[in-house]
Amino acid sequence: MEQLPISDYGFLSDCRSGALVGRDGSIDWWCPDRFDSASVFGRLLDPEAGHWRLAPIAAGLPGHRVERAYVADTLVLRTVHHTPEGSVAVTDALAAEFGARGHQLGMNSPAVLLRVVEGLTGRVRMSLDFRPRPEYGLLTPYLHEQPDGGVLAAAGPVLLALRTGGIPPHVDRDRVRQDFEVSAGQVVGFDAAYGQAYGTAPARLDPVTALAETVRAWQAYRESHHYDGRYPEQVRHSASVLTGLTYARSGAVAAALTTSLPERIGGDRNYDYRYSWLRDFAMTLRALWVAACPSEASRLFAWAARSIGRIGPEPVPVLFGVEGERDVSEYESHHLRGYAGSLPVRVGNDAWRQRQLDVPGEVIQAVWRLREHLGEAFDTELREMVLGLVEQVATTWHLPDRGIWETRDTDRHYLTSKVLCWVALDRAVALAPRLGDRADLRRWAAIRDEIRAAVLREGWNERTGAYAGAFGSADLDASVLLLPLVGFLPATDPRMRATIEAVERELGASDGLVRRWNTDPAGFLPCSFWLVECLAMAGERDRAEALFERLLGHANDVGLFSEQIDPRTGAQLGNTPQALSHIGLVNAAWRLTAPTTD
């Protein structure tokens, strides 16, 4: 199988999990139980790991053309296939619970994939190929034809019920194949419902009715959220993507839908991003506050506080499972061939074991952002969390760590790690009146000032005329663009201004893309959006706006961003859709709306 480009995939979500559907009509990724559960369709990572294709027989042949778009304010994807025989629309969604409105979206999702085929013109011959492979392709299910005309796929802990809208399915040993015709005006609904072999049975829904209900649920959700800034269409869509990456039951936001999509084709930096990172916490909260509403931000904060728990001597992990699991130990799936042959394929992420000194600063910055909402007197658990994090920073800030890029070689004194330690203490000093008698204001302020002096002294490199990525290094690192964004230095400070220019000059790639470091082969979208914010804060609004609009051009045809862009080809790289890229878009748009905002 020729691998589809990452940008050819559209994103479906029920706020429990998500699916990826290609322009060719094949659903190649679905982990139905929750974002980080095992896949039942995994062709994204191996041709034999399962898929569900529904498309014209003429798809891919001369005369076939595809148009697709999301139904307004939803993650319901409508794909129109134009063929020499006529045109047909396939509308795909993950079903919302019937009657779900507002913040109920995703709370009790039934885990059902909906696919509704509508004939538009002529008579189009269609082909269905349903080939589930649970456990990342390790299991081949038995297929049992049902009295109602459907097919039940059973293997290990998984049940999948396929219903084919009255079209008789043809079971071919380990897959369902069927060709059929659709005439103009004809509507045929299909669904695949997930259930547990020893638990919940697959839900039974009418696909056409359930699709209409899902559209209403998404649109009602978006109607309750308001954004009054610039680039409203892009911000609202990014807010929908962030909602789609939110595990509704806990409020956690997954970093991406996928695992092991490579940063470089054939490379080995292939990681599992289906977890929620504390590092992205403050930026995520800001984006949710801007583009969604305080309720989402508050639920995310509550999830983080509960996941962190009582602070002990061990470093707070940078990431957790979407229900707050701490141990997300990593292993390699050796039976999978990887996206475009890129190995290894990883499940789990061992970055949870690393010492990353920036994490407490991210959490305390989030507390600072929510300070008015949290009240003048913090409750006992919140107070203990903040006090524990501050003391951890006060006693460990001088140590080396792995940094925000989670290097897997050696610890270093990374500049942004030290700056986020400064943030932790700076915000804690401001929050001291809410922290009770144990707030050690004078000591915290002294350590904060010591950290600041160390960063200004050890982080500046005279030879390059810029702040470097680590103490004693001359290597540029785009993470230093965070310094103005967290208030460590103004963007107009002469040394900071020189650093911004050096990053733009030395790490810039085509179309405004910014690489993380000199040897990074691809443009990293979050850093590129940080540059937009820095330019706006430096008073260069015209340049910031021009850069922002160039970056918007790197979205795929349905407005989705992965993590990185190949500057030579424009191809999307890395896990997708990437929350931090969409967070960067929202925050940059708001900065261009109100450049003096926090």
Eight-state DSSP code of residue 377: S
Beta pairing partners, 466: 461
CA 236 – CA 26 distance, rounded (Å): 27
Residue 327 CB burial class (10 angstroms; 0-12, 13-18, ≥19): exposed
Among the listed residues 352, 180, 280, the one whose alpha carbon sits nearest the alpha carbon of residue 583: 280
Among the listed residues 312, 319, 314, 326, the one whose alpha carbon sits nearest the alpha carbon of residue 284: 319
CA 145 – CA 130 distance, rounded (Å): 13
Cβ neighbours of 303 (radius 10 Å): 22
Among the listed residues 228, 224, 223, the one whose alpha carbon sits nearest the alpha carbon of residue 590: 228
Mean pLDDT of successive 10-residue segments in the chain (598 residues)? 90 97 98 97 98 95 95 97 97 94 84 98 97 98 92 96 93 94 97 94 95 96 87 95 95 97 94 95 85 75 91 91 97 97 97 95 92 83 93 97 93 98 98 94 97 98 97 97 98 98 93 92 97 97 97 98 96 98 96 78
Q: What is the Cα gyration radius of the chain?
A: 25
Phi first, then psi: give them for residue 8, nearest 5 degrees. Answer: -80, 0
Burial code (b: 16+ CB inside 10 Å, e: under 16) for 544-574 equals: bbebbeebbebbbebbbbbbbbbbeeebbbb
The percent helix, strand, coil of the chain (3-state, each to 5) is: 35, 20, 45
Q: What is the pLDDT of residue 224?
A: 80
CA 527 – CA 308 distance, rounded (Å): 27
Any idea which fold 6-223 has? Beta-galactosidase; Chain A, domain 5 (2.70.98)
Token pair for 65: 């053309």
- CB 78, CB 21: distance < 8 Å: no
Cβ neighbours of 341 (radius 10 Å): 10
Eight-state DSSP code of residue 339: G
- What residues contact 373, with CB distance under 8 A and at least 6 apart? 294, 298
* Number of DSSP helices (H) and strands (E) in the chain, helices first: 14, 25
Q: What is the pLDDT of residue 294?
A: 63
- CB 93, CB 211: distance < 8 Å: yes
**How many angstroms separate the Cα of 598 from the Cα of each of 242, 368, 481, 537?**
21, 11, 15, 11
Residue ranges of the domains in the chain?
A: 6-223
Phi first, then psi: give them for residue 542, nearest 5 degrees. Answer: -65, -45
Q: What is the pLDDT of residue 598?
A: 59
- CB 346, CB 362: distance < 8 Å: no
- What residues contact 578, with CB distance under 8 A and at least 6 apart? 255, 256, 273, 525, 526, 561, 562, 563
CA 405 – CA 357 distance, rounded (Å): 12
Among the listed residues 105, 52, 94, 67, the one whose alpha carbon sits nearest the alpha carbon of residue 211: 94
CA 388 – CA 395 distance, rounded (Å): 11
- What residues contact 390, with CB distance under 8 A and at least 6 apart? 360, 364, 424, 425, 428, 444
- CB 425, CB 393: distance < 8 Å: yes
Token pair for 468: 């470097």
Strands 65-70 and 142-145: unpaired
Q: What is the pLDDT of residue 148?
A: 85
Residue 62 CB burial class (10 angstroms; 0-12, 13-18, ≥19): exposed
